A and B are shown apart, each in its own frame.
Chain A
Amino acid sequence: MSVASFFRSRRSKKDIPRDVDSGILIFDTTSEVISAEKVLKENGWQIRVMGPPPEVQTGCDLVIEFPHMEELDILRTLREAGVSPKEVVPVSSPLLRPVDLFNIKDFGDHLMVRAANMKITVDKKSLVIVNISGGGCPDVPYLASEMTGKNLHQAPSPNDIGHTLCAYALQLAYEEIMKRCSQ
């Protein structure tokens, strides 16, 4: 980690302060958003993944909200990582928040976690992922085929192989079930 990013990390807060003007980074695909989020968080930037305002929605979108005054540095970081946005616009209306509620179901030998429209179920003893269900984007069957039958700690994470909002929702469920299974 660079010295600059260390200090950014130290001053990072969970949310972008309300008195700071925000901008949004718009990408061509959700997978680019996921990559950019990873790069920016690793570098300590205060950003959050949100839903796009209605005027730029195309269907299966995420955008990255960031403090507008940091635009140049953030764009430089992204350019160096090879994930430049296709557009940067100021935030003019409230952004949609991703769902943050989880639904937990205990089947005895199996535990299921649902986030938004995605569900993941594991065998509580072996931690093997036994089923993935829900969702409507075309990477859901792909994620299921790549993750089902593998141990939670060995399976690829949805953020690494998924491309859509359903994959992002599955990532949240995956992180939650990891947390619960390591307690």
Chain B
Amino acid sequence: MLAIVGTVPDKDFPITHGGLSLDGDMLKINDSFVDVNRGTSALMAAAAVTADMLGTQAPYGFLVGDIGHGKGSRDLYSYLTEHIHEFELDTLTFHYLQPIAHWHDRVLGAVMGLRSKPVLIADAGFMYAAKMSGSARSYDLFTPDLGELAFLADESSPHPFYTRGFILHDENKAPDLIKRAYNHGNAANNLLVKGRHDYIVHKGKIAATVSTPSVEALEAIGGTGDTITGIVSALISAGYEIPEAAGIAAYANRLAGEYADPSPATSVFEIISCIPRALDEILGKDGSVTKGVIHHA
């Protein structure tokens, strides 16, 4: 089972866990409904529609309310540390959580103690904490955007806010940044770098790039990076190898973006609605990739 861990912007939302599904334009978790706009709810919604399209088990969510005070995140960290062993997980994705190094370490310790270690994916705040605590290599996949890649490449930076100026967020420098992140042990075994070109990296080597279709407006739309992480998580849980899943996710997200015909003011939900059509276009009936513009390096 795929499980996704993150937060919603409502300080009164209690720790809630359960199966995830879309109900109209809302995300349903147990008996609760959450707006799908950006952040973890967008990731969860993208994973739910992908799993539905693939005919696999619905993803499972762990959510808590946090508006930046960190209390909700700490409560969820604590809950996971104590209870994660009660769940059968093949894939575990961590997302918008307050990056707190010591809590990250406790949760990772609990996960590493499981009988069977799930595929570990980290994005957003939890990825920051994973890098800061020096544990990046314990992860199977990070999904940074270009700015976050620069942060991974800067060995002295504890947060993207402190990335040094000489490590520019320059699209042309992505291969150098990838190399630097691996040289300092600050990258997961696989990376899916989201940008004008999406880079799929396996053990330090660029395995493929995805550059088309190019939809400029997507960069401005909150949640479009989160949807890629949701799609790739569901594909990995369905049995795809990580680099292949990353390539399909990157391409599907671009296609969904193109189908939505967005402006910079578009809501991410409109793009999520197009993910099934995009996956249908890419995957054959047996789940093999029938169409794609994935350039293998």
Contact = CB atoms under 8 A, between A and B. Distances in A.
B132 A138 contact: no
Contacts of B148: 117, 136
Interface string A88-120: 000000001111110101010110101011010
B70 to A, nearest CB: 7
Contact of A141 (B37, B128, B217): B37
A131 B264 CA distance: 7
B67 A142 contact: yes
Contact of B68 (A99, A109, A116, A167): A167
Given A107-B217, A117-B147, A133 B161 contact: no
B125 interface: yes
A139 B99 CA distance: 12
Contact of A103 (B169, B221, B225): B169
B96 interface: yes
B220 A119 contact: yes
B132 A57 contact: yes
A44 B233 CA distance: 50
Interface string A124-144: 000000111111111111111
Interface in B62-120: 66-70, 72-73, 96-102, 104
Interface string A54-82: 10011111000000000000000000000
User: Which among B73, B99, B100, B221 has the highest number of chain A CB atoms within 10 Å?
Assistant: B99
Contact of B127 (A31, A136, A167): A136
Interface stretch (A7-15, A19-27, A35-43, A157-165): A157-165
Contacts of A85: none
Contact of A138 (B9, B160, B219): B9
Interface of B: 7-9, 35, 37-41, 66-70, 72-73, 96-102, 104, 123-129, 132, 145, 147-148, 151, 156-165, 168-169, 216-217, 219-225, 263-265
Given A107-B216, A139-B68, A163-B70, 10 more contacts: A57-B101, A60-B98, A97-B162, A105-B219, A132-B38, A133-B219, A134-B222, A136-B99, A138-B70, A144-B39
What 9 pairs across the A-B complex have the smallest Cβ distances? A139-B68, A163-B68, A136-B124, A142-B9, A130-B265, A141-B39, A133-B222, A117-B160, A138-B66
